[in-house]
Amino acid sequence: MSGDVAAGAGREPFGARLAAAMADHGPLCVGIDPHPVLLADWGLTDDAAGLRTFARTVLDAVGGRVAAVKPQSALFERHGSAGVAVLEEVVAAGRETGTLVVVDAKRGDIGSTMAGYADAYLRDGSPLAGDALTVSPYLGFGSLDPAVDQALATGRGLFVLCLTSNKEGHEVQHARTEDGATVAASIAARAAALNAGLDPMGSIGLVVGATVGDAATRTGTDLTRVNGPLLAPGVGAQGAGQRELTQVFGAARRQVLASSSRGVLAAGPDVAALRTAARRAADEARAALA
C-alpha cells in the first residue's frame, strides 16, 4: 500500500492526519472511559443514558482541542446493544468535532472473524469505524492482515499491542520466537516494514506503556525504526516524565501520543475544568516528550 490519499476514501492516511493534529494540539489522546466509579463520581447513572451524558460532556470539553480521543469499547459494550449504540454516537460526534477517534477495542482473531472485525471498525460507512483501532497481534502478526488491509485502504490506522505495562505482559511480549527475536521486537519490525518510507509517519502504530522502563532495550525492540505513532499510556501526570520517556522511547519520542484517561476525567463533570485538565495534560506531555 502507498502513503498516498486512500483511493475512494477522500482522506489523508491516518499517520499524516495524526502528525498534523499532534503539531496543532499537542501529543495527547484523551480516553473516554465511563467506568462505573467515574459515572457515580459525576452523579450519573450506570446505564446508557449515563454513558451518553458522560461521553458528550467529554467531547464538549475537548473536541477540537486535543489530537485524539479514545473511547474504551468494553465500557460501552457492558451495557449491551444500548451501550454499543452510544459508542456509535461517540464515534460520529468525535468526527463532527474534527478530532481523531481511536476506538480502543483490542480486537484480534483469525481469518474471516478478523475480517469481520475489520469490517466493523475500519470500513467506510460502518457506524463503529473511527480513525484508528487498537488490535492484538498475539495470534500472530499475520492474523491482523484483514485489519491492516482495510485500514490502509481507507486512510485509517491501527495501534498494535507491543510492550504493555501490565504485569503479565512480559510472559508473551518478552518471549523469544524460533529465530531468537523477542515477540515484541518481531511486532515492532512488522509495523516498521508496513510504515517504511512514509512521511511524516506511517499509519500502523504500536501501544507501548510509558512506564515499561528499559523493556525496549531488554527485548531488542527498536522503536526508532517503527516510523509510526506510539500510543503511550502513563505520560506526564500519570507517572512518566522526561527521564522515563527517554529511557523507554529514546529518539522515537517525537512519534509518541500520550494517552490520559482518569487523569483528565477526574476533573469532570464541569466542562471548563475538564478542558483545563486536558490542556494541562497536553502541555505536560509536550514538555515530557521535548
Q: What share of the chain is helix, strand, coil (3-state, %, to 5)?
A: 50, 15, 35
pTM, full prediction: 0.95
Strands (E), the chain: 28-32, 68-71, 100-107, 132-135, 157-163, 204-208, 230-233, 256-260
pLDDT confidence of residue 236: 60
The DSSP line for 59-89 is: HHHHTTTSSEEEEBHHHHHTTHHHHHHHHHH
> What is the rounded average pLDDT of the residues 157-181?
96
pLDDT tens-place string over residues 206-244 = 999 999 999 999 999 999 999 999 999 887 655 677 888
**pLDDT value at 8 more than 50:** no
| Catalytic machinery residues | 106
pLDDT confidence of residue 6: 42
> What is the rounded average pLDDT of the residues 249-274?
94
pLDDT tens-place string over residues 28-82 = 999 999 999 999 999 999 999 999 999 999 999 999 999 999 999 999 999 999 9
Range with the poorest average pLDDT among 97-106, 137-146, 255-264: 255-264
**pLDDT value at 2 more than 50:** no
pLDDT confidence of residue 241: 79
Q: Which residues pair with 104 in a beta bridge?
A: 72
SS3 230: strand
pLDDT confidence of residue 149: 98
Categorize the per-residue pLDDT at 4 as very low, low, confident or very high, splitting at 50, 70 and 90.
Answer: very low
* Dihedral sign of CA atoms 258, 131, 103, 187 in order: negative
CA dist 152 and 178 (Å) reads: 30
CA dist 264 and 31 (Å) reads: 8
Mean pLDDT computed over every residue of the chain: 94
**pLDDT value at 3 more than 80:** no
The CATH H-level (homologous superfamily) assignment of domain 14-288 is Aldolase class I (3.20.20.70)
CA dist 213 and 244 (Å) reads: 7
SS3 277: helix
pLDDT confidence of residue 242: 81
| Cβ contacts of 102 within 8 Å, gap of 6 or more | 29, 68, 69, 70, 130, 131, 132, 133, 134, 159, 231
pLDDT confidence of residue 237: 56
* Dihedral sign of CA atoms 167, 29, 275, 43 in order: negative
> What is the rounded average pLDDT of the residues 106-124?
98
CA dist 72 and 92 (Å) reads: 15
Cis-peptide into 13, omega within 30 deg: no
pLDDT tens-place string over residues 118-154 = 999 999 999 999 999 999 999 999 999 999 999 999 9
CA dist 212 and 240 (Å) reads: 10
